[in-house]
Amino acid sequence: MAREFSVVAPDVELGRDVKIYAFVNLYGCRVGDETRIGTFVEIQKGARVGARCKISSHTFICEGVEIEDEVFVGHGVMFINDRLPRATRADGAPQTGADWKLEPTVVRRGASIGSNATILCGVEIGERAVVGAGAVVTRSDK
């Protein structure tokens, strides 16, 4: 594990045999057994990554994202957890944590997300689904 160039906060729950490459930032999240996390990945508090996943480099997994077991996440994938992101409130004051609504996202077991995909909040990606490279996922297909 390349922790010398990574930040793994003490509140992170790491499963058995997790492989973390350099320049990773993990805090307040849970990562399952045998998962591999590539360079320049950030996983925020409250996010969950299952067992035997591969999270490729330059990926951002934000609060509210649940990734089940055996999921592949390509390079540069971005998850979004706020439907109406803003820097300030209507009165011009900077937003705080109380000024937005977390919308969870779920990626079901065995799904594959291609490089540079953007996954908007509030969606569910189905079991063994394939999301193409560069896709923007805006809704669940049920």
Q: Which domain holds residue 25?
A: 1-84+91-142
pLDDT mean over 35-51: 98
Looking at the structure of the chain, the number of domains it has is 1
37 to each of 9, 14, 77, 83, 140, how far by Cα in Å? 15, 11, 13, 27, 26
Mean pLDDT score of the chain, rounded to an integer?
94
Sign of CA dihedral 16, 21, 22, 27: negative
Whether the per-residue pLDDT at 97 is higher than 90: the answer is: no
Confidence of residue 6 (pLDDT cuts 50, 70, 90): confident
pTM score, whole prediction: 0.93
Beta strands in 17-142 (DSSP E): 19-20, 25-26, 30-31, 36-37, 42-43, 48-49, 54-55, 60-61, 65-67, 72-73, 78-79, 105-107, 112-113, 118-119, 124-125, 130-131, 136-137
**In terms of Cα–Cα distance, which of 60, 62, 65, 52 is closest to 15?**
52
Residue 23 sits in a domain of what CATH number? 2.160.10.10
Distance CA 76, CA 73 (A): 9
